[in-house]
Structure 1
Amino acid sequence: MPAPLRNPFLCPGVFSFTLLLSINSLFFHSCYSIDEQGQALLAWKNSLNTSTDALNSWNPFDSSPCKWFGVHCNSNGNIIEINLKGVDLQGLLPSNFQPLNSLKSLILSSANLTGGIPKAFGDYLELTLIDLSDNSLSGEIPEEICRLRKLQTLSLNANFLEGAIPSDIGNLSSLVYLTLFDNQLSGEIPKSIGALRGLQIFRAGGNKNVKGELPREIGNCTKLVVLGLAETSISGSLPSSIGMLKRIQTIAIYATLLSGAIPEAIGDCSELQNLYLYQNSISGPIPRRIGELKKLQSLLLWQNSMVGAIPDELGSCTEITVIDLSENLLTGSIPRSFGNLLKLEELQLSVNQLSGTLPVEITNCTALTHLEVDNNGISGEIPAGIGNLRSLTLFFAWQNNMTGKIPESLSECENLQALDLSYNNLFGSIPKQIFGLQNLTKLLILRNELSGFIPPDIGNCTNLYRLRLNGNRLGGTIPSEIEKLKSLNFIDLSNNLLVGGIPPSVSGCENLEFLDLHSNGITGSVPDTLPKSLQYVDVSDNRLTGPLTHSIGSLIELTKLNLAKNQLSGGIPAEILGCSKLQLLNLGDNGFSGEIPKELGQIPSLEISLNLSCNQFSGKIPSQFSDLSKLGVLDISHNKLEGSIDVLANLQNLIFLNVSYNHFSGALPNTPFFRKLPLSDLASNQGLYISGGVSAPADDLRAWSTH
């Protein structure tokens, strides 16, 4: 009888073989269980150079990719969305997604992708959204992409794409959102853009080589909400068809080559909130119909060539918050109707040809933070009610013809940070209340007719950074309270009638870099305790006396020192060498005496000018002066210096030299510079003679000999 069948699981050898076969079979089945969609994704993943963990869930042993990171499927298991936004993929776009025939949304923005957009993208006919923005994609936008009739969003911005916008872009009949900005695209905007009747967002700015006129067909995109073509080479005029865009909210076509006038039809854009047309060559007047834009919030037309008056109708745009019409050729007066703009925060009318007064009605604009009317021909007084503008942070009215006094009510603008009323005809004293403005950082009222004193209240203005009151008729002394201005960086009180000394308390201005007090009646000596932060000091044309303090060497940041036209005496302290960054030194027209210290020749940064003229210096020019190789101007005239001037022969950068009215002797250096030197710059040095041994007074020096 036949042997009984043995149970294979009771046989160790057979059991092991069977188990191994089962495992291998299971492994084999798992390797090939993923569907075609998953295989396409895995093939793309394997082509990437990414080291990110984000794709770790893309497991070839899964039967479906529907649970993979960034993958979304419908109820039938078909992939409808891939979203890998922000994943560092480091590779090329996929060109093998044909199995993903239900794909509707492909989001691969900010994924560090390179290379071109595959033509195969035109085969993914179910796509409604493509977002490839913020990568490093290059090449052209393939025409094939225009086959995607269901596409609603195409975002290709912030790449390096080149070439023209596809001429068949109008075939994307479902397109709502088109962003192509910040690439390297060129050519004209296709007229077929007008076929995109559902388009709401069109942004192609930041493509410097996109050129030509904005096609009038753009008016057919009647659902357009945002039109952005800034920083391109778009030229010509805005088409009147722009008025057909009844839903448009933002038009941004700034920094282009636009010219011509803004069409009156702009008044038909009833939903318009933001009109940005600055930095163009737009001419003509501001359309009166702009007053019909009741929802307008921002009007930026600065740096154009617009002419005519600012229309009164603009005062009807009561939602407006920003108006910038600066740097145009506008004339007439500021409309009183602006007083209706209660939400207005910024009014910038600088650099025009406006006249008339600053209207009282402007003080109704209590939301104003910036009021800039400088560089015009505005006359009259600053409205007394200016203090109503409690939110005002910046008020520029410089370079006008304004008269009257500075209103005390300005002190009620408690948020004011910058005030510039320079180059006007303002008179009277500076209201002391202004110095109670705790937020004020810049106060500039130079070149007016102000009188009176600088009040001690200036010490209350503790955040003041820049103070310019030069070119007025201010008298009295510099208040010692200036020491409280710890933030002060720049102070110019020159060309006034100030008297008294430089207060030692100025040392408290520990951040002061610029000090200009020239052309006053200041007396006393140069303080021992000037701030070590100083870079520029000009106290020339005053009545300073005494020696130059030895502590001058502690000003290690000093680059320019001008003490000319005073009554200073004594010698130049050797400590001047400590001013190792000094580029300009002017000690002319004083009573300095003694020898010129050798240390001056050891300041290598001395390159702009050294003026020691009209003093009582004696002795020889220090040999160290030969090291001043960068020096451009040297004036040592009208002193009692003697000896040779050979030490100056090697100063190759000199463009001006005056050694006249001294006691120099010896041969003049035979160099091209000295040959061209005017005789007046050598005059009254009886011992100087021409190279070659011909003795002659310097007054009679003639052309150089050739031997």
Structure 2
Amino acid sequence: MEKTMQPLWSSCNNRRSKTMHVPLLGVALVLLLFLASPPTSCKEEEKTSLLGFLDGLSQNSGLTTSWQNATNCCLWEGIICNVDGAVMDISLTSRGLEGHISPSLGNLTSLLRLNLTGNSLSGGLPLELLLSSSIAVLDVSFNKLNGEFHELQSTRDSMMKVINISSNLFTGNFPSTTIGSMKNLAALNMSNNCFTGEIPSTLCVDKPYFVVLDLSYNQFHGRIPTELGNCSGLRVLRAGKNQLIGTLPAELFNVTSLEHLSFPKNHLQGTLEHVGKLRNLVILDLGWNGLNGKIPDSIGQLKKLEELHLDNNNMSGELPSALRNCSNLTTIILKDNNFQGELKRVNFSTLSNLRFLDCRSNKFTSTIPASLYSCSNLIALRLSFNNLHGQFSLGISNLRSLRFLALSHNNFTNITNALQILGKSRTLALLLIGGNFKHETMPDYDTFYGFENLMCLAINECSLYGHLPNWLAKLKNLRGLLLDNNKLSGPIPTWIDRLNLLFYLDISNNNLTGDMPTALMEMPTLQSAHSDPIVLKFPIYLTPFLQYRTTSGFPKMLNLGNNKLTGMIPPQIGQLQALLTLNLSFNNLHGEIPQSIGNLTNLQVLDLSYNDLTGAIPSSLEMLHFLSKFNISSNDLEGSVPTGDQFSTFPDSSFHLSGGL
């Protein structure tokens, strides 16, 4: 249920992500901006330059009213002038502006800051802005700007301190000559673009104030230049989601000022033997690479470390006990590696700030360490796909902030004890404990109070005996229920429609009997496409490559396949118009396929195969225009097969009928 994969950007032309907010200027600039008072009248040449910018916009979101009705441009929206009537600040963020950035802004010789972030501006970035001798802060992030950066070298001293061109569509190589001439540069954010080539080795030359470099989410390749070790004041270095190879150069670990080191989703190799030198690190993110070796004991020297991301590498060995010294840790993500040994080597009781711990898909053994129950701020805990064993401890009740708990596919026992302990939690929203409790019996209770805020429950792949327990009817906040791949028997209970928020139901691969209850057709969230999205602390993985980060992303699904259900498909099934997946395959259903299935116009998956269905294939199926998977084979149907649209793309095996055509 939980094989992970982080999301990848599909293309350079269709992406947006949260980019790091880089520091802008110091107190001096802020005071200049706020102490400036508009004069009686702005300079005429300043007004002309601003109107040139306005002329380049195809959508100005009402700027015309402000900018043309008042003669004093220092009073225009988004404009701040100095005492001489010269424009020193332009701030037009998230205004829905469209069109091009006019080169006329380069004529504003007193302009200190230009902030156009969060619009829909296109075209290139005027060279006049990059060559400006006055601009200190240039922020055009989150637009649709494109084109290459031409290599420029200004003959004048550049005042540029901050450049943020992130989340655009820029292409070409790193503009090393252009950036190289900016001696005062402190922060450069080029993330979320389509830059290619190698990271230049001259990046840090003659830049004594350089503290922030963000190159993440581009297409840079090659090795990390060893010369980055010369950036002696660098505090933030981010270059994740590129195509970088080789090892982290040893020289990089000499930059002891580093607070944020982030190279996830590259092709890096090597070990972390020198990481202990970076005593100021707050965030270390090297996930999704090819790192090997163990986490060194020197990790304990990173006393300021708050986030540790080493997921999806080839790392191994036992966790160092020195990890307990990183008392500021809030996040530990070690999933999908080859770590082994016992988790109790780490004394988690010293990590009182820990909020997220993810160690899934490793080779950890023994039991859940008792010290972990001291982490009262823990929100999300995932230890799935390891070799842990034993019974759940009452200590879990001490995790009073816990909302996400995933312990699936280990060797835990005593499901009755587990549910009694976990049911007491008032915060737990997602509980994934499938793949444990092998061949035990699903407990049922005459009275049951608990799981009052549970939204998703997965007790699948356990080979559990018993019935669908009545206590499930009391979980009024339940959105997703996964009990598939057990040995549950008996009928589907009629209380199922009391779960008013349930929209993902998978009880396939059991031994359920009886007719399909009409109560299934009364489930309100399967009748309406609307559902409130809830962001998940950790993504849930239903297949090796399919993840969900919000509950609204889950497909609205009814999967009753591979049981022993009998009777007819109720015609009321046409009421479930929000359904995306309907699987009734491998049962003993008979009668005709209801014409009302054609009302399920959102369906993407329909599988009615391997039943005893008879009669003609309903023509209403041709109304299902979004089907990507379709199977009605191995029934006794007759008549013509639907044609046209997507039906011509399905293989003949989807229509192989026992009764002939």
TM range (shorter): 0.7 to 0.9
Q: Give the aligned residue type for 1:653.
A: D
Q: Give the aligned residue type for 2:608.
A: L
Does the 8 Å contact 1:430/1:454 carry over to 2? no
Distance 1:464 1:218 in 2: 51
How far residue 197 of structure 1 moved from its aligned partner, in angstroms, is 2.6
Q: Give the aligned residue type for 1:399.
A: H
Cα–Cα, structure 1 residues 552 and 330, in superposed 2: closer, same or farther, change >3 Å?
Answer: same
Distance 1:191 1:386 in 2: 51
Does the 8 Å contact 1:576/1:600 carry over to 2? no
Alignment pair present for 1:141 and 2:149 = yes
Q: Structure 1, residues 250-270: CA drift from partner, whole Å, max 9, x if none?
A: 2222222222223x3322222
How far residue 390 of structure 1 moved from its aligned partner, in angstroms, is 2.0
How far residue 508 of structure 1 moved from its aligned partner, in angstroms, is 8.7
How far residue 416 of structure 1 moved from its aligned partner, in angstroms, is 1.2
Cα–Cα, structure 1 residues 151 and 562, in superposed 2: closer, same or farther, change >3 Å?
Answer: closer
Distance 1:418 1:173 in 2: 51
How far residue 423 of structure 1 moved from its aligned partner, in angstroms, is 1.6
Distance 1:145 1:155 in 2: 19
Matches within 5 A, 1:404-553: 404-405=414-415, 406-407=417-418, 408-425=420-437, 427=440, 430=443, 432=445, 436-448=450-462, 450=464, 456-469=470-483, 482=496, 484-491=498-505, 506=519, 510-511=523-524, 535-538=558-561, 540-541=563-564, 548=567, 552-553=570-571
Match of 2:268 in 1: 258
Q: Structure 1, residues 287-306: CA drift from partner, whole Å, max 9, x if none?
A: 32222222222212222222
How far residue 237 of structure 1 moved from its aligned partner, in angstroms, is 1.6
Distance 1:491 1:84 in 2: 48
Distance 2:376 2:76 in 1: 57
Distance 2:99 2:413 in 1: 68
Q: Give the aligned residue type for 1:166.
A: P
Q: Which runs of 5+ in 1 are unaligned?
A: 1-32, 515-532, 589-595, 614-623, 631-650, 670-707
Distance 1:157 1:534 in 2: 38
Alignment pair present for 1:400 and 2:410 = yes
Q: Which has the higher contact order (CA 8 A, sep 6+)?
A: 2
How far residue 242 of structure 1 moved from its aligned partner, in angstroms, is 2.8
Cα–Cα, structure 1 residues 67 and 563, in superposed 2: closer, same or farther, change >3 Å?
Answer: closer
Cα–Cα, structure 1 residues 336 and 509, in superposed 2: closer, same or farther, change >3 Å?
Answer: farther
The structure whose Rg is larger is 1
Does the 8 Å contact 2:221/2:243 carry over to 1? yes
Cα–Cα, structure 1 residues 373 and 509, in superposed 2: closer, same or farther, change >3 Å?
Answer: farther
Q: 2:291 aligns with which of 259, 272, 282?
A: 282
Q: Give the aligned residue type for 2:316.
A: V
Distance 2:459 2:118 in 1: 50
Alignment pair present for 1:166 and 2:175 = yes
Cα–Cα, structure 1 residues 107 and 475, in superposed 2: closer, same or farther, change >3 Å?
Answer: closer
Q: Structure 1, residues 119-149: CA drift from partner, whole Å, max 9, x if none?
A: 4446532332333333333333343356544
Match of 1:653 in 2: 652
Q: Give the aligned residue type for 2:133.
A: L
Alignment pair present for 1:373 and 2:383 = yes
Distance 2:86 2:516 in 1: 83
Distance 1:109 1:656 in 2: 54
How far residue 114 of structure 1 moved from its aligned partner, in angstroms, is 3.9
Where 1:151 maps in the other structure, the secondary structure is: coil
Distance 1:505 1:130 in 2: 62
Cα–Cα, structure 1 residues 193 and 577, in superposed 2: closer, same or farther, change >3 Å?
Answer: closer
Does the 8 Å contact 1:328/1:352 carry over to 2? yes
Cα–Cα, structure 1 residues 52 and 413, in superposed 2: closer, same or farther, change >3 Å?
Answer: closer
Distance 1:111 1:447 in 2: 49
Cα–Cα, structure 1 residues 400 and 140, in superposed 2: closer, same or farther, change >3 Å?
Answer: same
Cα–Cα, structure 1 residues 603 and 497, in superposed 2: closer, same or farther, change >3 Å?
Answer: closer
Matches within 5 A, 1:95-114: 95=103, 100-110=108-118, 112-114=120-122
Q: 1:627 aligns with which of 629, 640, 654?
A: 640
Cα–Cα, structure 1 residues 162 and 475, in superposed 2: closer, same or farther, change >3 Å?
Answer: closer
Match of 1:292 in 2: 301
Does the 8 Å contact 2:385/2:409 carry over to 1? yes
Q: Structure 1, residues 547-592: CA drift from partner, whole Å, max 9, x if none?
A: x46x833333595445756xx9xxx65685555577525445xxxx
Cα–Cα, structure 1 residues 247 and 609, in superposed 2: closer, same or farther, change >3 Å?
Answer: same
Q: Give the aligned residue type for 1:288.
A: D
Where 1:387 maps in the other structure, the secondary structure is: helix
Where 2:152 maps in the other structure, the secondary structure is: helix
Cα–Cα, structure 1 residues 477 and 214, in superposed 2: closer, same or farther, change >3 Å?
Answer: same
How far residue 273 of structure 1 moved from its aligned partner, in angstroms, is 1.7
With structure 1 as the length reference, what TM-score do the two structures score?
0.68
Q: 2:216 aligns with which of 198, 205, 212?
A: 205
How far residue 84 of structure 1 moved from its aligned partner, in angstroms, is 4.5
Cα–Cα, structure 1 residues 91 and 467, in superposed 2: closer, same or farther, change >3 Å?
Answer: closer
Q: Structure 1, residues 209-264: CA drift from partner, whole Å, max 9, x if none?
A: 222222222222232222221222222222223323333222222222222223x3
Match of 1:320 in 2: 329
How far residue 374 of structure 1 moved from its aligned partner, in angstroms, is 0.9
Q: 2:395 aligns with which of 360, 385, 399?
A: 385
Greater mean alpha carbon deviation, residues 463-472 or residues 356-365: 463-472
Q: 2:281 aligns with which of 272, 282, 285?
A: 272
Count of aligned pairs = 562
Q: Give the aligned residue type for 1:424.
A: N
Where 2:473 maps in the other structure, the secondary structure is: helix
With structure 2 as the length reference, what TM-score do the two structures score?
0.72
Alignment pair present for 1:345 and 2:355 = yes
Q: Give the aligned residue type for 2:480.
A: R
Q: Structure 1, residues 77-125: CA drift from partner, whole Å, max 9, x if none?
A: 5554444545666554454567644443344445654433344446532
Match of 1:694 in 2: none
Q: Percent identity?
A: 26
Where 2:276 maps in the other structure, the secondary structure is: helix
Distance 1:658 1:597 in 2: 10
Alignment pair present for 1:584 and 2:608 = yes
Distance 2:170 2:398 in 1: 52
How far residue 180 of structure 1 moved from its aligned partner, in angstroms, is 1.4
Cα–Cα, structure 1 residues 86 and 55, in superposed 2: closer, same or farther, change >3 Å?
Answer: farther
Q: Give the aligned residue type for 1:292.
A: Q
Q: 2:572 aligns with which of 547, 551, 554?
A: 554
Does the 8 Å contact 1:299/1:322 carry over to 2? yes
Match of 1:359 in 2: 369
Does the 8 Å contact 1:563/1:586 carry over to 2? yes
Q: 1:230 aligns with which of 240, 250, 255?
A: 240
